Amino acid sequence: MAKTLMKGNEALSEAAIRAGLKAFYGYPITPQNEVPAYMAEHLPLRGGVYLQAESEVSAINMVYGAAGAGVRVMTSSSSPGISLKQEGISYIAAAQLPCVIVNVVRNGPGLGGIQPAQGDYFQAVKGGGHGDYHMIVLAPGNVQEMADLTTLGFDLADKWRNPVMILGDGILGQMMEPVEFAENQEPVNVEKPWATTGAVDREPNIVNSLDIIPEKAEKNMQALLAKYEKIKEEEVRWQEDGTEDADVILVGYGTSARVARSAMELARKEGLKVGLFRPITLWPFPEQRLRELAKPGRKFLAVEMSAGQMIEDVRLAVNGVSPVYLSNRLGGMVPTPEDVLTKTRDIVQGRVN
């Protein structure tokens, strides 16, 4: 198929439908509104169900129901709405249901604003709701990846029986870029013998997250954690550019990684040895690769549209071997390449501690 110009929100919606999406349950909130609008327009004509729920809380619980019934299902929202979904996400993770949840992040906390931000990183990668669990968190860096990682998200969700979050932001959702979809893409059909589809010639299936017997509950948790360990082994994804001889490695995901890329190019023009490390999976975080890259004399600069959240995972990864600095903007402000360049110069010249 030829390239077409699409908003990130539209591209991920189209990718989801092509991945065999059977139901979308959503609720309006800026800046993700193109997703439900696209779904309402197209999904019912292509074999799926679109329903505007009465709240984000209901939407995520509809996702729980449909995922438990064995179909590919998704919801999307933006920061305050994602907070409302946390209860449901915790249940979905505990019941080990596959689904895709899109967060087109805006600035917070509270009602915050509607401009692009990355302040939901902790919430996305550390759990977000109650209890010990993880979502697989994918961070697209352009409109093509908004589509491709959504496709991947459905496959990973089914493969691991785990919720997957696409963590975008207002820029990635609203911006248009060329995007291409594979011809005749057939959705991967995964058998789901555990799903509630009607107990015909088998024992009833139960989708459940409750276990009040601690001995059993602990065993369940250990099984869940063992699954997470396997995901960590198999699903870590990242991209790096010019890291081999870099004195400073910029670390950023999503829109921040794009700004960092522009900053890197400016820095190289000045003769500075600057590389870029872009995590694509935020959970599992590419900690091992960052650990390998850390060495005395090399410095890291986390670029974020938050108060500094991902930087904690970078620090955990490099484990004191290299210093890690922060270049960030807040409140829906987007860092400029010049901001990042200035900080990079300061680091190279030892003007920051």
Partner 1 sequence: MKTVFQKPEAMTDVPMHYCPGCTHGIIHRLVAEAIDSLGIREQTIGVASVGCSVFAYDYFNCDMQQAAHGRAPAVATGIKRVRPEAMVFTYQGDGDLASIGMAEIVHAAARGENITVVFVNNAIYGMTSGQMAPTSLLGQKTATSPRGRTVEEMGYPIKMCELLATLDGPAYLSRVSTHDSRHVLQAGKAIKKAFEMQQQKKGFAMVEVLSTCSVNWGMTPANALKWMAENMVPYYPLGVYRDVTAKEGN
Partner 2 sequence: MADIIIAGFGGQGVLVLGQMITYSGMIEDKAVSWFPSYGPEQRGGTCNCSVVIADEEIGSPLVTVPTAAIVMNAPSFDRFEPKVGKGGLLIYNSSLINKKSERDDIRAIAVPANEIADELGSARVANMVLLGTFIEATNLIKPESVEKALRAVLSERHHNLIPLNMQALERGRAYQ
Nearest distance from C-beta of residue 243 to partner 1, angstroms: 44
**Angstrom distance (rounded) from CA 349 to CA 142:** 32
Cβ(78)–Cβ(27) below 8 Å = no
Q: Which of these segments, 21-29, 172-180, 196-204, 291-299, binds partner 2 (CB under 8 A)? A: 172-180
Report what 338 binds from partner 2, partner 1, none; CB cut-off 5-8 Å by kind.
partner 2
Quick check: 318 binds partner 2 (CB under 8 A)?
Answer: no
**Angstrom distance (rounded) from CA 243 to CA 236:** 18
Report what 30 binds from partner 1, partner 2, none; CB cut-off 5-8 Å by kind.
partner 2
Residue number with CB closer to partner 2 (33 or 220):
33
Residue number with CB closer to partner 2 (207 or 249):
249
Q: What angle do CA 76, 136, 173 make, to 5 degrees?
A: 35
Nearest distance from C-beta of residue 228 to partner 1, angstroms: 22
Nearest distance from C-beta of residue 166 to partner 1, angstroms: 20
Residues 23-82 that bind partner 2 (CB under 8 A): 30-31
Quick check: 5 binds partner 2 (CB under 8 A)?
Answer: yes
Dihedrals φ, ψ of 224, to 5°? Answer: -65, -45
Report what 207 binds from partner 2, partner 1, none; CB cut-off 5-8 Å by kind.
partner 1
> Of 99, 337, 341, 343, which lies in the binding site for partner 2, with binding defined by CB under 8 A?
337
Quick check: 22 binds partner 2 (CB under 8 A)?
Answer: no
> Of 171, 249, 317, 341, which lies in the binding site for partner 2, with binding defined by CB under 8 A?
171
Residues 6+ apart with CB under 8 A from 92: 60, 63, 64, 67, 99, 163
SS3 190: coil
Report what 192 binds from partner 1, partner 2, none; CB cut-off 5-8 Å by kind.
none
Secondary structure (DSSP) of 58-98:
HHHHHHHHHHHTT--EEEEE-HHHHHHHHHHHHHHHHTT--
DSSP state of 177: E
Residues forming the site for partner 1 (CB under 8 A): 22-23, 25, 49, 51, 53-55, 57-59, 61-69, 71, 73, 87-88, 91, 95, 196-200, 204-210
Joined together, the tokens standing for residue 293 give 């890259």
Quick check: 104 binds partner 2 (CB under 8 A)?
Answer: no
Residues 6+ apart with CB under 8 A from 318: 290, 291, 293, 294, 300, 324
Residues 220-239 that bind partner 2 (CB under 8 A): none
Residue number with CB closer to partner 1 (96 or 107):
96
**Angstrom distance (rounded) from CA 11 to CA 149:** 11
